[in-house]
Amino acid sequence: MTAAYTSALAEELAPGLLERFERYVRVSTQSARDRTHSPSTPGQLDLSRMLVDELLALGLEDADLDANGYVMATLPAGEGAGPAVVGLIAHVDTSPDAPGDGVEPIVHRGYDGGVVVLPRGGTVLDPEAMPELRDAVGHDLVTSSGDTLLGADDKAGVAEIMTAVAHLAAHPELPRPTLRIGFTPDEEIGEGASLFDIERFGARAAYTIDGSTLGELSDETFMAAGAVVRIDGHDVHPGFATGKLVNATRLAGQILDRLPAELTPERTSGRDGFIHVFEVQATAARAEIHAILRDFDDEKLEGHAALLRRVAEEVAGAEPRAKVTVEVRPQYPNMRRFIEPHPEIVDAAIRAMRAEGLEPVNQPIRGGTDGSILSARGLPTPNLFTGGHEYHSVREWASLQEMAASAATIVRLAGEWAAVSD
């Protein structure tokens, strides 16, 4: 039996939303960490061009794609609306953390609460390991075939914005402010907001549609830094290495071994930060350790960086013939400090969710969004749910009922802002 939608509006939006979502996820848009230009991969432009064509067909006459891969468009205000200009933002790229080419979406109607076995890759969705599945009994689930990402992060958000805009454009009698639509590239590699033209966008406030669980509303994110530890050893022929070889690979292993296990993503939760080593490149002559540092607090983030430096220096100190350097660079800030002075932005989202029959769940994001940097640059941008789950993995899934609730919430959010008079 299919679960009920959160509203008649959500049910009305669901078929078109699903059609858009299935179409978008089939376009390969993984971003690449070794970016040399924007966007980092050509597939992102394929989807962005598709979106421009669809926006133009909906009557948004200024829809365009700029030289850096950013889509922007305007849906003019309805009759009698206030002067507010509000943005809706999602990113077109998907994560490089798992395979992303050749996505084949599968719709599982009326999920029965059991284990879902996907046809490829031996991938299973098990509610014992994924408790959020228990809240989706009766829902229509969308998955990949099991050997790729689905792409709900963030094509669910893209589809929800497009569906809401299409509905508002087709119903001019519905209240809405001037809406600015933005689709960004390369969010997954931390570059989504770097070339975003805030002045041209011209919004007072914006919302990224890039969250997860039904009702999720986030005005706080991790603050983030990236770190690279470089180790130069001394390589010689192993047959003549006695007293001469300084093996950079072994030194890298010592550094990794000394980092506290309790400070890893798999051992932390809630408001705990972490040091996450995600890549090691090593030979006897040279090694590099790539890590990300995350926390909600400035001093704690600085503490993680200091710990990494201290461990590297201790290992280097035990082998003076090696050269060890640590480079730490900021990535994005916690957006809360930039949103707090503007409580009306979050309040409008709360009212919109409650109008859709949802009770907002305000929780910090153990990650970042485009809104982290946009908020710091002067465009306050909290984050709203999409209905996608298990991001960055081949187990990624989305609930059609939750996605439809997101699209309906966007329509209601437009109504809330239409009534703002200043």
171 known member of a binding site: no
List all residues 6 or more positions away from 201 whose beta carbon is below 8 Å from its beta carbon. Answer: 72, 87, 180, 182, 379
Peptide bond preceding 235 in cis form (omega within 30 of 0): no
257 known member of a binding site: no
Instruction: Note the Cα 200 to chain centre separation in Å.
Output: 23
Among residues 296, 291, 374, which one has the least CA distance to residue 328? 291
304 known member of a binding site: no
CB 323 within 8 A of CB 285: no
112 known member of a binding site: no
List all residues 6 or more positions away from 317 whose beta carbon is below 8 Å from its beta carbon. Answer: none
Distance CA 316, CA 191 (A): 33
List all residues 6 or more positions away from 235 whose beta carbon is below 8 Å from its beta carbon. Answer: 245, 246, 247, 248, 283, 284, 285
CB 6 within 8 A of CB 407: no
Active site (annotated) includes residue 93: yes
Report the C-alpha dihedral over residues 2, 116, 366, 37, rounded to 10 degrees.
-100
Among 93, 140, 219, 356, the active-site one is: 93
Q: Which residues of 176-188 are buried (b: 16+ CB within 10 A; e: fewer)?
A: bbbbbbbbbbbbb
Distance CA 236, CA 249 (A): 14
167 known member of a binding site: no
Among 154, 187, 191, 416, the active-site one is: 187
- Residue numbers belonging to the annotated binding site for Zn(2+): 91, 153, 188, 210, 392
- Residue numbers belonging to the annotated binding site: 91, 153, 188, 210, 392
The residues assigned a catalytic role are: 93, 187
